[in-house]
Amino acid sequence: MQTRFYFIRHGETQWNKQGIYQGWTDIPLSEEGKKQAQCLRKRFENEKLKLDAVYSSPLQRAMQTAEAMAKAKGLTVIADNHFKEINFGEWEGHTVAQLSEKHGKAYTDFFENPFIHPFPGEGSFDAVIKRSVEGFELLLKKHEGGNVAIVSHGGLLRVLIMTLMGMDYTFYRKTWLSNTSVTVIDVKENGKKLLLTLNDFSHLETL
């Protein structure tokens, strides 16, 4: 049986607009982000888009986004810590320019290759991969043959998607996930994964 996953980044926040690291800092959606979430909801009102469950990072920017789309299907959002954003510790609340100036090579090395350099908070991308893949595999087992939405964050989702698809780590800096974008991966009965859609935000054309 085929299982379909919708990976969705949360709507815009003020810190997104300002280019500030958010991580585990619990920032709400901006007014624009709330509008984006409603566009996402309209997308999932399409009866052809089947959903059996909606899971979300517990951070409010993700939960607000998830709740909007879940309403379209009459579902209740389930908070799941596996899909919380990457924890950047003391780097949160700062821009790239600020971090480069304050931490110098320790930050710029990470920025150039985050998979081999440590950072505050979670400490390593290996830790991020471990918890996110663990969460995915639990849902795959629980919802085999179903259709599942996971609402999370840009950093976490890029790491998870590239890991699931067996992509080289350089993929992380070669792509982007826009606010409320939808990425679709099908998992076949034999375990083969097919990436059908990446960073689709066509529903925002109505804004």
CA distance 74 to 52: 10
Residue 23: pLDDT band with limits 50, 70, 90: very high
The stretch 132-156 carries a mean pLDDT of 98
Q: How confident is the model at residue 53 (pLDDT cuts 50, 70, 90)?
A: very high
pLDDT confidence tier of residue 9, bands split at 50, 70 and 90: very high
Percent pLDDT > 70 in the chain is 100
Q: Are 135 and 83 in contact (CB under 8 A)?
A: yes
Instruction: Give the three-state DSSP class for 53.
Output: strand
Catalytic center residues: 10, 153
Q: Could you give the residue ranges of the DSSP H alpha helices within 31-153?
A: 31-44, 60-71, 96-103, 105-112, 125-142
Q: CA 171, 202, 192 angle in degrees (round to 5)?
A: 45
